[in-house]
Amino acid sequence: MSEDIAIVARGLTRRFGKLVAVDGVDLAIPRARIFGFLGPNGSGKSTTIRMLCGLLEPTEGSVEVLGYSMPRDAEKLRSKLGYMTQRFSLWDDLTALENLQFMGQVFGLPGPERRRRINERAEEYSLGPLLNQRVATMSGGQRQRLALAAATLHEPELLLLDEPTSAVDPQSRRDFWESLFALVNRGITILVSTHYMDEAERCHRLAILAEGRLVSEGVPQDLMRDIPAAVIEVEAGDTVAARRAIAGDDAVRSVAQLGLRLHVLLDPQVESPGERVRDRLRAAGVEASVEAVEASLEDVFVAATGFRNGPGH
């Protein structure tokens, strides 16, 4: 295992009875980077992360994390691992300070060292005024900052985040991501699962999962550049008629509406995709402007997961 690689998974598979939650996933995750898992609910994101950190035993395949074999060496890895879930794993009836003190004890930090790190995290994540406040009375953003402080109190080498921004406002999400990049600059490797496209685009590398399978993986900008689809944008006064005309083409993979515009994905084998769309609109008597545009990460997601036409797609 290379020193530049934090995690290697080969043929990672997990079955729950007849359900295959994760199906033969191969990964090589670099150190000191943010590696994202993007996918709809039920795609296998959380199950994959739980296997990677030794919380769940694979049905098949192997995982090596920071040089440790999972789940055999899970106990040895524990002190090097931080884990934060979308529910934040906090005790609502305790204050912020009591939560941090408890986590420090769990990680075996001696009293003086525990106090020093709590003070550092309180300053880093603006928790000072909140230390004596019960968690149950905190906002989503405040709870998020506290959960991140607790997850990094023992200075882990690897941080696993399971949809950590699903219950916070947009500004808190932005601030949270700035905190993640600061951690990466200190050499920490971060795995994060998300269903937000803007967050996925912030990752250094991204894996897209669908029905337990890895359907696309790479640098987000590369994935958008190399999308296996032609991307066409249509602006029409009558978007309903335009959508109806375009969606009838078997080469069309997806049609999404953005205001008065339609975002169309077509089979990449189609010759002159713009002309093809114009011809269908012209034949249906729909006046519209048509142009090829650059792909978004949402386009990549749709192309990779194979969603077909329908409401919202």
pLDDT at residue 263 tops 50: yes
pLDDT of residue 88: 74
> Could you give the percent of the chain with pLDDT greater than 70?
97
Which of 161, 136, 140, 137 has the alpha carbon at shortest distance from 151? 161
69 φ/ψ angles, rounded to the nearest 5 degrees: -85, 130
Own/partner pairs, 176-184, CB within 8 angstroms, 24+ separation:
176/144, 176/145, 176/148, 177/202, 179/124, 179/125, 179/145, 179/148, 180/34, 181/34, 183/152, 183/159, 184/32, 184/33, 184/34
Residue 206's DSSP bridge partners are 36, 218
- Averaged pLDDT, 193-222: 94
Q: Is 100 exposed, middle or buried (0-12, 13-18, 19+ CB in 10 A)?
A: buried
pLDDT of residue 1: 60
pLDDT of residue 311: 31
pLDDT of residue 309: 37
| Tokens read off for 9 | 């998974």
Asked which of 30-34, 89-93, 151-155, 276-280 is least confident by mean pLDDT, the reply is 89-93
At 113-162, the pLDDT tens digits run 999 999 999 999 999 999 999 999 999 999 999 999 999 999 999 999 98
Strongest mean pLDDT among 83-97, 157-171, 291-305? 291-305
pLDDT at residue 87 tops 80: no
> Could you give the percent of the chain with pLDDT greater than 90?
81
User: Can you tell me the distance from the alpha carbon of 149 to that of 120, in angstroms, rounded to the nearest whole number?
Assistant: 9
Looking at this protein, which amino acid is placed at residue 87? R
191 φ/ψ angles, rounded to the nearest 5 degrees: -110, 130
Q: Can you give the pTM of this predicted structure?
A: 0.90
User: Can you tell me the distance from the alpha carbon of 254 to that of 302, in angstroms, rounded to the nearest whole number?
Assistant: 7
Question: Which domains does the chain possess?
Answer: 5-224 (3.40.50.300), 227-305 (3.30.70.100)
- Averaged pLDDT, 16-30: 96
Please say whether the beta carbons of 70 and 25 come within 8 A. Answer: no
| Tokens read off for 228 | 């296996």
